Structure 1
Amino acid sequence: MQVAAILKRKGDAVVSADAGSSVRSAAALLTEYRIGAVLVRGPDGTIHGILSERDIVRGIALEGERVLDLPVEALMTRDVLTCRPDTSVAELMRTMTEKRLRHLPVLEDGQLVGMISIGDVVKVRVEEAEMEVEMLQGYIAGSH
């Protein structure tokens, strides 16, 4: 299975924030949409970074609650890894595991087409495993 199939199921909506907006407002977006990261984009749509719950928690641990009033760009991860719609789920899992990432923007021809989370990947793998079990059970039941 490829990333495109996951996006087809979950949709291509991506919640984003401006680099200058406050960490507090980004945290409100995370809460409102029940997500773990927001993409930080410029006015022209270019990706400037990504801000995750982990980034916010790390900031609070280091700076206290005053971090909530800082701009998103103060905490965001600037070097954002991406994937493509034709990236396989196996490759995606390997990248996310090795790099300890929970979210990857999906780019096609340099344009943002969605965001994949580790939760999306786990959901697909569980569904695939359940289907395999059903197929094997059907095979076993049919061979008696």
Structure 2
Amino acid sequence: MIVRQILKTKGSTVTAVPAAEPVVNVATLLTEARIGAVLVHDSFGQPAGIVSERDIVRGIATRGVSVLDEPVESLMTTDIITCSPDDHIDALMRVMTDRRVRHLPVIENGHLAGIISIGDAVKARISELESEGEAMQRYISANA
């Protein structure tokens, strides 16, 4: 299964916030939208970074609760690791594991096409394995 197929199922909506947005507002957004990360954009609307729940928790643990009043750009990761719509789910999971990230923006022709989470990847892989198992059962039943 490739990323494009996952996006067809889950959709391509990406939640993003301006770099100046207070961390507390981003934490509220993550909670209300039931998502684990948001893209952060600069004043021109261009991607500047990504911030996750873990980034916020780490910021509070290391810098105290006052970090909640700071702009989200103070916590965001600026080295954004991305994937392509044509990447296979296995490659995606390897990148996520090796780079220790749980969210990958999907870039197609230089434009943001969606975002894939580790949960999306696992769900897609399980679906793929179930389909393979069902195909094997049909094959065995037909040849018995």
Q: TM-score with structure 1 length normalisation?
A: 0.95
Q: Which residue of 1 aligns with 2:79?
A: 79
Return the offset for 1:85: 1.0
Equivalent position of 1:58 in the other structure: 58
Aligned to 2:140: 140
Q: Does 2:127 align with 1:127? A: yes
Percent of residue pairs identical? 56
1:2 matched residue in structure 2: 2
**Could you report, residue by residue, the CA deviation over 1:73-123 in whole angstroms, capped at 9, with x for unpaired residues?**
111101101111111112111111110110011111111111011111000
How large is the RMSD of aligned CA atoms in angstroms? 1.1
* Count of residue correspondences: 144
Q: Secondary structure at the match of 2:107?
A: strand
Partner of 1:106: 106
Q: Which runs of 5+ in 1 are unaligned?
A: none
Deviation at 1:141, TM superposition (A): 2.5
- The answer to whether structure 1 residue 15 and structure 2 residue 15 are counterparts is yes
1:109 corresponds to which letter in structure 2? N
Shift of 1:11: 0.5
Q: Which amino acid aligns with 1:83?
A: C
**In the aligned structure 1, how far is the partner of 2:118 from the partner of 2:42?**
25
SS of residue in 1 equivalent to 2:66: helix
Cα shift at 1:134: 1.4
